[in-house]
Amino acid sequence: MDGATRDGYGAALLELAENPRLVVLDSGVSDSTRTKKFGSQHPDRFFNMGISEADMVCTAAGLATTGKVPFATSFACFLLGRTMDQVLVSLAYSNTNVKLVGTHSGIAVGEDGPTAQMIVDMAYTRAMPNLIVIQPADYEEAKQATKALLEYNGPAYLRLGRPKIKGIYNEDYQFQIGKGNVVNKGSDVVIFATGSMVSESLAALEELKEKGMNPTIVNISTIKPIDEQLIIEQSKAHGAVITAEDHNRIGGLGDAVLEVLANNQIFVPSKKIAVNDTFAQTGSSKQLYERYGLSSGHIAKAVAEVKNLKG
């Protein structure tokens, strides 16, 4: 099904509402984060905290200590940009069963401008002990990831996007925390992508097939704990690696994958597709992906370059 990952999240909350342990918190942006419908149907388990994100995180931590499973939701730039001490101490250090849900991530936010384009959140959250990090690739995976997090005991960060994405999975797909998924089995080069960049990689595939290239595309929807076995297997099998993410090139998926390779003495040509340690301008997501090297055309170019570097 086509749709934004934030839409999949909102739909999952409604389907999970029969579980009395589920509570949802939002910081005044419930229409955009898609928690509004849950709030209107279950007002006794919905808390609109207003523009008070740090208070929201601490309230969620308190609710978790009573046996509730809180989903604390806001735009990624607000959720993490204003709450790092509370997240670090009240969630990660305390190992509290709170799910942070950051929507409108990456430069795909586009016209909202650079202060809203959260490109460092995976770096923040990957570095925190106890906190797992998940970024679904489409609507269906976002629904399933939300459901999986309700059952998972521990703090988590769910990274969601604003734009509508072409559906990749159907209801037969089974999301698992900590597991990647091969969405196209090819040869020569493997692309490890996350979030919206899975769709961009699939778009690049169409261009590459016309040139006689067919890379393997792997969806890494769990950034932490990352699927080390799959990364090792695919990297060895292809001998060349590309990572693709709508995030700064420092601290995100690219670093996570290259850490796995380095720790296992796997040395292959590689290239990161990511925001190149800069703040983006204001524009549509399509314009920004093209300008900052994240579009399908840039991915296709990187595949050809990395393939040529193979021994």
Provide the annotated active-site residues. Answer: 53
Q: Find all residues with CB under 8 Å of 245, minimum gap 6, and list them.
A: 122, 193, 194, 195, 197, 252, 253, 254, 272, 273, 274
Q: Find all residues with CB under 8 Å of 82, minimum gap 6, and list them.
A: 53, 54
- Listed residue (248, 253, 167, 268) closest to 218, CA to CA: 253
Measure the CA–CA gap between 3 and 1, rounded to whole angstroms: 6
> Tokens standing for 155?
């703090």
Please report, as a single letter, which amino acid is at residue 261: L
Tell me how far CA of residue 114 lies from CA of 33, 77, 129, 282, in angstroms. Answer: 19, 10, 28, 7
Neighbours of 213 (CB within 10 A): 18
Q: Find all residues with CB under 8 Å of 31, minimum gap 6, and list them.
A: none
> Tokens standing for 311?
């021994």
Question: 3-state SS of the chain: helix, strand, coil percent to 5?
Answer: 45, 20, 35
Measure the CA–CA gap between 9 and 146, rounded to whole angstroms: 6
Q: Please answer whether residues 118 and 104 qualify as being in contact, where contact means their C-beta atoms are separated by less than 8 angstroms.
A: yes
